[in-house]
Amino acid sequence: MTSRAKFWLSFLFLVLVAVVYLGASGMTWTDIQNLGTPRNALIIEGEDIRIPLPEDSDGRVLPVVEATTSGAYSFMFMDGDTPVLWDPCRPIHYVINPTGAPPGGEALIRQAIASVSEATGLSFYPEGLTSEVASFDRALIQEDVYGERFVPFIIGWSTETDLPELQGSVAGLGGSSSVPGAFGDQRFLQGGVVVLDAPDLAKMMSTEEGRALALAVIMHEIGHVVGLGHVDDALELMNPSNSNVKGWGPGDLQGLALAGAGACQGIGDPE
C-alpha cells in the first residue's frame, strides 16, 4: 500500500470515529454541519432543552398563495420588521381533544383547517385524537408524549367554568408560540393552541346560520395560530367582535397569504 493510500485510509478512519462519537453524544448530521455554531435552546422548568431539528424537507409542501386582495391585517409576533411565521416547508402537525365537543364539532374543526390551509398555502397534518388538555400553559416539548420534537398544534373544548377567559361573548381562544430555529436568529411559530367554548358553539350549531358562525369562530382562532392578530375593521373575520361575518375578508386573505410565505428553516432549504 502506498503512503498516499495509507494517509486516506487513516483519514477516513478518523472521520468514522468522529461521526460515531458525535452520534453517541446525541449530535446529528445537521449539528455536525454546524460545528462551531451551538444549537439554540429553550429553558423549560429550569433546564436548557436544545431546539429540536426540523424534519427533512425538499421545499414548500404546498404552492405559494398569491395575495389578490388588500385590507386590514396584523401579525401577533414581529421580529423587528418581519412577522414570525410557520415554516411552510414542513406540515403543521395537529391533534384534537374531543372531550366535551358538541356533535359535529370535529367536522367543523377540519373544515376550518382546510379553509386556513387553502388561504395560506400551509399544510396541516392530522395526527388524530389526544387526551392532552388544550392549554396555553402546555410545555412546548413533551418527549414522553410526542417524542423529541415540538408539540403538535392542539384543538380542544372547554367551558367558562373551567376557563374563565371564555366568559361573556368570548367563544374561543387561539395562538402559537414564537421560538428560535435550531440555529441562527430566525424565529418561527410552534405549539399552536385553540380552545373553544363548547356550550357557546353547541348553541350556535343548533341552526344552519349559527353553524356558519361557529365555523367562522374556529377559522378566526386558527387565524391566530398561523400568526394573524386582531384588526379594527368590522368587515374582517379577524376583528375581535364578530358582527355576523362568516368568511374571510379582503384583509384577512391578504394577511393569510403573507402568513404562508415565511422562510424555510434548515441548511440547504430553498429560499
CATH of the domain at 100: 3.40.390.10
Distances (CA, A) of 70 to 114, 164, 251: 22, 35, 5
Query: If you ran DSSP here, which 8-state letter would residue 91 be given?
Result: -
Q: Are residues 24 and 114 in the same domain?
A: no
Range of the domain at 239: 78-259
Q: Are residues 138 and 206 in the same domain?
A: yes
Task: Give a yes or no: residue 72 inside a domain.
Answer: no
Strands across the sheet with 92-96, in order? 124-129, 92-96, 153-158, 187-197, 172-180
> What is the number of structural domains in the chain?
2
State the maximum Cα–Cα separation within the chain, in Å, rounded to a whole number: 85
How far apart (Å, rounded) are the C-alpha atoms in residues 96 and 134?
9
Q: What is the pLDDT of residue 37?
A: 61
Q: Are residues 233 and 108 in the same domain?
A: yes
Q: Are residues 108 and 26 in the same domain?
A: no
Task: State the average pLDDT over residues 248-252.
Answer: 98
User: Residue 8, class by beta-carbon neighbours within 10 Å (0-12 exposed, 13-18 middle, 19+ buried)?
Assistant: exposed
The DSSP code sequence of 97-116 is --TTPPTTHHHHHHHHHHHH
- pLDDT tens, residue by residue, 64-115: 999 999 999 999 999 999 999 999 999 999 999 999 999 999 999 999 999 9
- pLDDT tens, residue by residue, 168-205: 999 999 999 999 999 888 999 999 999 999 999 999 99
Q: What is the pLDDT of residue 39?
A: 80
Q: Which residues contact 31 (CB under 8 A, 6 or more apart)?
A: 22, 39, 53
Q: Are residues 210 and 143 in the same domain?
A: yes
How far apart (Å, rounded) are the C-alpha atoms in residues 73 and 111?
22
For the whole model, what pTM was predicted? Answer: 0.85
